[in-house]
């Protein structure tokens, strides 16, 4: 089963104060370093117009918990989290249709 993780994030004022070109450069470099090895997939969703608690949602898919863990360790070493430009509000791991896998296994 593929592990899906919803990473709820809040952009910090330090991030928002950068111009958009700077943000793009930092994000591209950081996300490439964290997720560029092909062991996980990464999608990013903007939520700030609809939610006051989180500004962004990252959806990460990994074949193993280890692949996810290693990607997160690499991400923590980037300015996105180490500076920090983003705060992790919540991490929600899930298995898509996990109950079906369970029922099929029994």
Residue 1 has pLDDT above 90, yes or no: no
- Per-residue confidence at 11, pLDDT binned at 50, 70, 90? very high
How far apart CA 106 and CA 62 sit, in angstroms, is: 24
- Per-residue confidence at 101, pLDDT binned at 50, 70, 90? confident
pLDDT digits 0-9 by tens, 37-89: 999 999 999 999 999 999 999 999 999 999 999 999 999 999 999 998 999 99
Per-residue model confidence (pLDDT) at position 106: 84
CATH code, 3-100? 3.30.70.1030
What is the SS3 assignment for 10-44? Answer: EECHHHHCCCHHHHHHHHHHHHHHHHCCCCEEEEE
pLDDT digits 0-9 by tens, 17-51: 999 999 999 999 999 999 999 999 999 999 999 99
């Amino acid at each position: 089963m593929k592990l899906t993780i919803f990473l709820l994030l809040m952009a910090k004022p330090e991030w928002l104060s950068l111009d958009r070109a700077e943000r793009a450069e930092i994000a591209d470099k950081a996300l490439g370093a964290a997720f560029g090895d092909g062991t996980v997939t990464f999608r990013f969703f903007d939520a700030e117009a609809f939610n006051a608690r989180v500004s962004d949602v990252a959806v990460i898919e990994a074949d193993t918990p280890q692949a996810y863990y290693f990607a997160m360790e690499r991400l923590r070493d980037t300015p996105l989290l180490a500076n920090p430009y983003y705060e992790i509000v919540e991490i929600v791991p899930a298995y898509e249709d996990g109950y079906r896998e369970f029922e099929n296994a029994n």
